[in-house]
Amino acid sequence: MRTQVAIVGAGPAGLLLSQLLHRQGIESVVLESRDREYVERRQRAGMLEQGTTDVLREAGVGERLDREGLVHHGLELRFGGAGHRVPLTELTGRTVTVYAQTEIVKDLVARRLADGGDIRFEAEAVAVDPSAPSVTFRQGGRTHTLECDFVAGCDGFHGVSRPALPGARTYTREYPYAWLGILADVPPSTEELIYANHERGFALHSLRGPKVSRLYLQVAPDEDLSAWSDQRIWDELAARFATDDDWELTPGPITDKSVTPMRSFVAEPMRHDRLFLAGDAAHIVPPTGAKGLNLAVADVTVLAAALTEYYATGSRTLLDSYSDICLRRVWRAEHFSYWMTTLLHVEPGADEFARRLQRSHLDYVVSSTAASTSLAENYVGLPLEGVAS
């Protein structure tokens, strides 16, 4: 078997890359270890930067996004019993959109299959060769080799692509807290996201649609999920979101709950020979800054442009710059995500001095136009470097 670009992983990064290449007449095969039903049901965050929504529209998968996505022009920082709105659009001229990653994957799978795309589900990649580019995979009890010009490793943190990158240097930071996340069949109690800092810990009120809410609580990394009854979750959320003006959180049936640990991770470079890493295969961010999916989209947008340049002209200029271009954005997003996380979470064992410093920083962010603008610029997403608009 042979193709121009072998893509390992059918998450948003791999599927979007395949779609972008298809629109430029470049062949690809997507290999995914799970079945289609599993891939289309994975729950992930869905806060999209404006640049991400622009890319999805350009890729031909923006119709349902524009119809069902919830456009946001601001967010709320809540602390000390009061809410403080950060007007994202007023400060930056840009918006963010809530649209679940699950729905993006469904849209991309449907589009690729309708266009005759080659997505091979239940095809587990077991080895990647960066120099004589190929991917060895198992499917239907047999082992196959897919030869190609280039390999795109979009197979996540635990995939086989990153270990195939010789000499990569990694940087990691573990955080002393995790998120207990729930999905609930209840209309959101807010029109814009609420990031709450409370002495009991951080909380986030997000949305998944007009009738579904997504909420999170700061908990310990080793938290026992069975200890959290539905009632306990709603009581704790209500306490952390409480305001002096008696704002009310509306509870409802919880349909899903999970505990997610938090880490920062970067592998560099993101390329060796003809193997290119994208998305979680190369970097992980804590979810506070809503950057994970958006970084993956930025990676494959640069990679698609580089491959298009190569096949059109033979030039390797953008291919050779891929890692440097992506890593500049990755490290900016890593810092912003770290900053948002430490600004809003309660450090276990923190003394009163540390708490006062954190409160002072929060007060400054919401009272200074310059500080609010810095938050807003990073939150809505910085311009994409290396890709013509």
159 and 271 in a single domain? The answer is yes
List the domain range (segments joined by +) for residue 181: 174-258
Q: Which of 258, 291, 322 is the last residue of a domain?
A: 258
245 and 198 in a single domain? The answer is yes
- 212-219 and 169-184 beta bridge pairing: antiparallel
- 254-268 and 194-197 beta bridge pairing: unpaired
Q: What is the CATH number of the domain that holds 216?
A: 3.30.9.10
83 and 122 in a single domain? The answer is yes
Q: Which of 241, 258, 275 is the last residue of a domain?
A: 258
Report, as residue numbers or ranges, the catalytic residues.
72, 195, 287, 291, 379
Q: Which of 42-46, 122-126, 309-313 has the lowest mean pLDDT?
A: 42-46
Whether 389 is in a domain gets the answer no
Q: Answer whether 334's CB lies under 8 Å from 285's CB.
A: yes
Kindly report the three-state secondary structure assignment for every residue of 97-131.
EECCHHHHHHHHHHHHHHCCCEEECCCEEEEEECC
Q: Answer whether 233's CB lies under 8 Å from 257's CB.
A: yes
- Mind listing the pLDDT tens digit for each residue in 250-276? 999 999 999 999 999 999 999 999 999
From the list 385, 388, 384, 363, the residue with the least C-alpha distance to 52 is: 384
Residue type, 243: T
Q: Answer whether 198's CB lies under 8 Å from 240's CB.
A: yes
251 and 319 in a single domain? The answer is no
Question: How much of the chain exceeds pLDDT 70, in percent?
Answer: 98
Tell me which residue has tokens 């190929």.
Answer: 134
Whether 386 is in a domain gets the answer no
- Mind listing the pLDDT tens digit for each residue in 222-248? 999 999 999 999 999 999 999 999 899
Q: What is the pLDDT of residue 17?
A: 98
84 and 218 in a single domain? The answer is no
180 and 165 in a single domain? The answer is no
How much is the pTM? 0.95
Q: DSSP H helical segments within the chain, as ranges?
A: 12-22, 36-39, 50-58, 63-68, 88-92, 101-114, 230-241, 292-313, 317-344, 352-367, 369-380
Whether 270 is in a domain gets the answer yes
**Band (389; pLDDT cuts 50, 70, 90):** very low
337 and 309 in a single domain? The answer is yes
pLDDT at 386 > cutoff 80: no
Q: What is the pLDDT of residue 246?
A: 83
Burial of 177 (0-12, 13-18, 19+ CB in 10 A): buried
109 and 214 in a single domain? The answer is no
Q: What is the mean pLDDT of the chain?
A: 96
- Mind listing the pLDDT tens digit for each residue in 66-114? 999 999 999 999 999 999 999 999 999 999 999 989 999 999 999 999 9
Q: Which of 258, 286, 308 is the last residue of a domain?
A: 258
20 and 130 in a single domain? The answer is yes
Nearest 10 degrees: CA dihedral of 34, 39, 44, 49?
120
Whether 388 is in a domain gets the answer no
Q: What is the pLDDT of residue 387?
A: 65
